[in-house]
Chains A and B, each alone.
Chain A
Amino acid sequence: GQQVMQIPQYQHVQEGEDFTTYCNSSTTLSNIQWYKQRPGGHPVFLIQLVKSGEVKKQKRLTFQFGEAKKNSSLHITATQTTDVGTYFCAGPINGGSQGNLIFGKGTKLSVKP
């Protein structure tokens, strides 16, 4: 069945270091979304990428969507303690456009001050 995989599962960084998480789908995606979940919190939408090769930036966060629309990455420059949490990528189930998503297992980021 359709799978969305994320690596690494965990990442521990010193404050100020960069961080990257990678997302790979077993199927071509019409779009990919990224969510952040703080410890004890709920997922919060960060961004949606739609176009092949698309790159979007949000302050220190850079999101990329692969040319084949099967992979994506999130890069954080100069991490801060406020970046702590689990980052999930998610894509439409079975290539659809109904909004129902399949999530990866997430990458848990911890930042040491």
Chain B
Amino acid sequence: EAGVAQSPRYKIIEKRQSVAFWCNPISGHATLYWYQQILGQGPKLLIQFQNNGVVDDSQLPKDRFSAERLKGVDSTLKIQPAKLEDSAVYLCASSFRITEAFFGQGTRLTVV
């Protein structure tokens, strides 16, 4: 089966600019997650969707980050405006049952 698809793979932006990441989960996976992984650390959950509803966004910096999952399939994560500390890999993951998560390759964001 096809894995979790993410784009772009890499993005370099200047601080205060905006950026968007796209994720297409594995077909049939109702649950979708966005994680932020700063270099040398474990992934940190930003938001979890169940179909097109938000289950948990308690760690999402809502003043600058937003995410949506229209129609319960694809999802986009947006940062506006970006800060230097947002430099990280943004990982999308999906799961069929609430057990193992399948991660995409991630988008490496560099804010300069």
Contacts and interface: CB of A to CB of B under 8 A. Distances in A.
Contacts of A106: 41-42
Contacts of A101: 43, 45, 101
Nearest to A99: B98
Interface in B7-28: none
B56 A42 contact: no
Contacts, number: 55
Interface string B80-95: 0000000000010101
B62 interface: no
A98 B56 contact: yes
A93 B100 contact: no
Among A45, A90, A100, chain B packs the most CB atoms within 10 A around the CB of A100
Contact of B40 (A41, A48, A105): A105
Chain A interface size band reads 20 to 34
3 closest residue pairs by CB, A with B: A103-B42, A99-B98, A45-B100
Interface of A: 4, 33, 41-45, 48, 88, 90, 93, 97-106
Interface of B: 31, 33, 40-45, 48, 55-56, 91, 93, 95, 98-106
21 contacts: A4-B42, A33-B99, A33-B100, A42-B106, A43-B103, A44-B103, A45-B101, A48-B100, A93-B56, A97-B98, A98-B48, A98-B55, A98-B98, A99-B33, A99-B48, A99-B98, A99-B99, A100-B56, A103-B44, A104-B42, A105-B40
Given A88-B43, A105-B41, 13 more contacts: A4-B42, A33-B99, A33-B100, A43-B43, A43-B103, A45-B101, A99-B31, A99-B48, A100-B33, A101-B45, A103-B42, A103-B43, A105-B42
